[in-house]
């Protein structure tokens, strides 16, 4: 963050970024507070849309989430890769303050996933999945990771997400992402995990499947009763809903994009943006912080889908994030002075 936060750029940056860069440089204790631990899949993807197909792309829930979070806070990454995984990626991660001590490199092939989108770019079919080194994966946290206040359990099997939590010394705020596969095949592990999570992020169809409610409002409230005090329900191009304690509720739209090239990883990026923003800016999370975090998550996700794999996120600047955040703010106001 220091490198990218030069003086010229700081004119465009929100105060939290300037503050964050300052504390990173001046106090190692504060760095500890601000880090976010991210665990999830690190994958090599093949993605087909109706107009393009690309193979051997960097993917995986943790790859997207970690890079998104790294715009706001240092990241401690946990995952597994095989011997075929490019070493250059580790150099890139380190250049973005993503600690890779928790990434195991083992003999064998990296997890591979292939998906195909239909014309609406909303519906996706998994073409193939090769677990490879993921089959034997048991996340082991380095000692230096165990005391991290903010945790993002990006999408992987709920029992692995729980295994990470078991090794941690009382994290203050746990965010979890999940998917339909785990709702269908690992429901009791997922239910157990929910009791230890402060914020659950899932998409609309998953929320309905999980609760058997057609109304997303009822679904959100019902999921809160299962454990998480806060629930974020993503609705793709229609935005997202946020449920908080009591009757706290927030709804936001999605950034209107003309060109979507690859929707892969948008959900992971949304979660990474939210968790990273919270870790980098607040000590005790209030509903107001979550509202802003959801906008930053949406902003990051809107950039993610502009190119295949992580290419847009790799080239993204804080200035661009801030500009889109400000546009989002203007778009969301309905009481404006007459023109
Ligand atoms: P998303 O588009 O947010 O659902 O995330 C897509 C990413 O999830 C891809 O890069 C895949 O490599 C990864 N992925 C797909 N299936 C799984 C799975 N079962 N467990 C973990 N990660 C997965």
Q: Measured from the CB, is residue 272 less than 6 Å from ligand 1?
A: no
| Beta carbons within 10 angstroms of residue 272's beta carbon | 37
Q: Helix or strand or coil: residue 203?
A: strand
Contact 46, 73 (CB under 8 A): no
Distance 63 CA to ligand 1 centre (A): 10
Among protein residues, the one with the nearest Cα to ligand 1's atom 16 is: 113
pTM of the model: 0.91
Q: Measured from the CB, is residue 131 less than 6 Å from ligand 1?
A: no
Distance 271 CA to ligand 1 centre (A): 13
Give the per-residue pLDDT at 221: 98
Q: What is the pLDDT along the chain (339 residues), one digit of tens a residue?
A: 333 333 333 344 454 554 444 344 433 233 335 899 999 999 999 999 999 999 999 999 999 999 999 999 999 999 999 999 999 999 999 999 999 999 999 999 999 999 999 998 888 999 999 999 999 999 999 999 999 999 999 999 999 999 999 999 999 999 999 999 999 999 999 999 999 999 999 999 999 999 999 999 999 999 999 999 999 999 998 999 999 999 999 999 999 999 999 999 999 999 999 999 999 999 899 999 999 999 999 999 999 999 999 999 999 999 999 999 999 999 999 898 888
Give the per-residue pLDDT at 272: 98
Q: Helix or strand or coil: residue 221?
A: helix
Q: What is the DSSP letter of 222?
A: H
Among protein residues, the one with the nearest Cα to ligand 1's atom 5 is: 265
Joined tokens for residue 224: 């809160």
Atom index in ligand 1 nearest the CA of residue 155 equals 21
| Beta carbons within 10 angstroms of residue 243's beta carbon | 26
Burial level of 235, CB count in 10 A (0-12/13-18/19+)? middle
Give the per-residue pLDDT at 185: 96
Q: What is the CATH number of domain 7-332?
A: 3.40.1190.20
Give the per-residue pLDDT at 122: 84
Give the per-residue pLDDT at 14: 52
Q: Rounded to an integer, what distance in angstroms lies between the CA atom of residue 39 and that of residue 80?
A: 10
């Amino acid at each position: 963050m220091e490198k990218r936060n030069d003086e010229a750029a700081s004119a465009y940056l929100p105060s939290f970024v300037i503050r964050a860069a300052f504390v990173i440089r001046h106090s190692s204790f504060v760095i500890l507070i601000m880090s976010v631990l991210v665990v999830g899949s690190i994958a090599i993807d093949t993605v087909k849309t109706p107009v393009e197909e690309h193979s051997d792309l960097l993917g995986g829930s943790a790859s997207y989430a970690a890079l998104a979070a790294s715009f706001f806070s240092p990241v401690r990454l946990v995952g597994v890769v095989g011997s075929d995984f490019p070493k250059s990626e580790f150099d890139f991660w380190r250049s973005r303050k993503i600690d890779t001590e928790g990434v195991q490199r083992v003999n064998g092939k990296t997890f591979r996933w292939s998906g195909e989108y239909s014309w609406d770019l909303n519906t996706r079919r998994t073409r193939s999945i090769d677990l490879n080194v993921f089959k034997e994966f048991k996340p082991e946290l380095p000692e230096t990771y165990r005391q991290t206040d903010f945790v993002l359990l990006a999408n992987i099997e709920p029992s692995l997400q729980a295994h990470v939590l078991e090794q941690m010394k009382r994290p203050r705020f746990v965010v979890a992402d999940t998917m339909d596969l785990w709702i269908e095949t690992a429901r009791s592990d997922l239910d157990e995990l929910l009791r230890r999570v402060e914020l659950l992020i899932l998409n609309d169809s998953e929320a309905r499947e999980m609760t058997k409610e057609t109304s997303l409002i009822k679904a959100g409230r019902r999921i809160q009763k299962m454990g998480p005090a806060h629930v974020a329900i993503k609705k793709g191009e229609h935005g997202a809903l946020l449920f908080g304690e009591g009757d706290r509720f927030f709804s936001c739209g999605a950034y209107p994009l003309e060109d979507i090239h690859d929707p892969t990883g948008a959900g992971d990026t949304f979660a990474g943006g939210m968790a990273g923003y919270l870790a980098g800016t607040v000590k005790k999370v209030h509903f107001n912080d979550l509202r802003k975090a959801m906008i930053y998550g949406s902003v990051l996700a809107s950039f993610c889908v502009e190119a295949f794999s992580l290419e847009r996120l790799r080239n993204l600047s804080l200035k661009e994030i801030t500009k889109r955040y400000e546009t989002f703010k203007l778009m969301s106001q309905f009481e404006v002075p007459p023109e």
